[in-house]
């Protein structure tokens, strides 16, 4: 059976939980469309996040890599379209680093596109009544950093492996005033996203992720 590597991030910015870590843990060892899901956890640290991701890829030799991160304030599940070659941190990471206007890979391309079928994922999620939208920016913090590191690694060394990044909202217990989604709903959503990534060899042509 082929492996799918699914990573979450540890909590950051003084928070007690990270929704992405909780989701990845719930799906660990699941079998989805004949693929075995292996969950990993990335440190919310510039540099170390990419190092751990490369280590997990080497260890598990996945056919597909999906990295999850939490984007507090968003109301749906948001597959990211593009990773920028840029670190520009509004807050310090978990090691106290706060890079400003720094390239992730010197002389690397300005950006990489996700190779996940992002619009098909949005379509499938909405079909199941789960709020979803294609996102045009993963920000410039550690999530975008890991996403860029992932796409750079796959492009250079594993061109047949598809990969990308999905941001998720807060869990209800993490917030009072902001949007959130229940853990079971997000677990269902990410399982649907993995199945879509395996089954759609080509993305849907749709406007902004909307198909109807």
Q: For binding to ligand PCA (CB under 6 A), which residues are involved?
A: 9, 12, 18, 20, 44, 69-71, 139, 141-143
Nearer to ligand PCA, 20 or 115 (CB): 20
Nearer to ligand PCA, 73 or 109 (CB): 73
- State the nearest-atom distance from the C-beta of 9 to ligand PCA, in Å: 4
Determine which one of 44, 123, 167, 188 is catalytic.
167
Chain length of the chain: 212
Rounded CA separation 92/125 (Å): 33
Nearer to ligand PCA, 142 or 190 (CB): 142
Q: Are 84 and 3 contacting, i.e. CB atoms less than 8 angstroms apart?
A: no
Does residue 212 carry a catalytic annotation? no
- State the nearest-atom distance from the C-beta of 141 to ligand PCA, in Å: 3
DSSP type of residue 180? B
Rounded CA separation 153/151 (Å): 5
Rounded CA separation 94/169 (Å): 20
- State the nearest-atom distance from the C-beta of 17 to ligand PCA, in Å: 10
- What is the DSSP code string of 132-173? B--BS---SSHHHHHHHHHHHHHHHH-TTSEEEEEEE-B-GG
- State the nearest-atom distance from the C-beta of 172 to ligand PCA, in Å: 17
User: In the complex, which residue's CB is closest to ligand PCA?
Assistant: 143
Question: In sequence order, which residues have a C-beta less than 8 Å from that of residue 91 and are 6 or more positions away?
Answer: 12, 13, 98, 141
Does residue 167 carry a catalytic annotation? yes
Determine which one of 80, 124, 153, 188 is catalytic.
80
Nearer to ligand PCA, 35 or 170 (CB): 170
Determine which one of 35, 123, 143, 145 is catalytic.
143
Residues designated catalytic = 80, 143, 167
């Amino acid at each position: 059976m082929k492996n799918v590597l699914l990573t979450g991030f540890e909590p950051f910015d003084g928070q007690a939980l990270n929704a992405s870590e909780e989701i990845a843990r719930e799906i660990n060892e699941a079998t989805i469309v004949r693929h075995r899901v292996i969950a990993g956890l990335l440190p919310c640290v510039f540099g170390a996040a990419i190092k751990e991701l490369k280590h997990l890829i080497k260890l598990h030799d996945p056919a597909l890599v999906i990295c999850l991160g939490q984007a507090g304030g968003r109301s749906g599940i948001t597959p990211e379209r593009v990773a920028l070659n840029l670190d520009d941190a509004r807050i310090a990471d978990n090691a106290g680093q706060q890079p400003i206007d720094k390239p992730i890979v010197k002389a690397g391309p300005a950006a990489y596109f996700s190779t996940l079928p992002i619009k098909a994922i949005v379509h499938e999620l909405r079909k199941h009544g789960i709020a979803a939208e294609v996102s045009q920016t993963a920000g410039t913090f550690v999530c975008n950093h890991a996403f860029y590191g992932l796409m750079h690694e796959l492009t250079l060394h594993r061109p047949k492996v598809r990969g990308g990044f999905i941001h998720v909202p807060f869990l209800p217990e993490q917030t009072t005033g902001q949007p959130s989604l229940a853990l079971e709903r997000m677990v269902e959503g990410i399982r649907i996203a993995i199945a879509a990534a395996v089954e759609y060899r080509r993305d849907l042509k749709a406007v902004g992720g909307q198909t109807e």
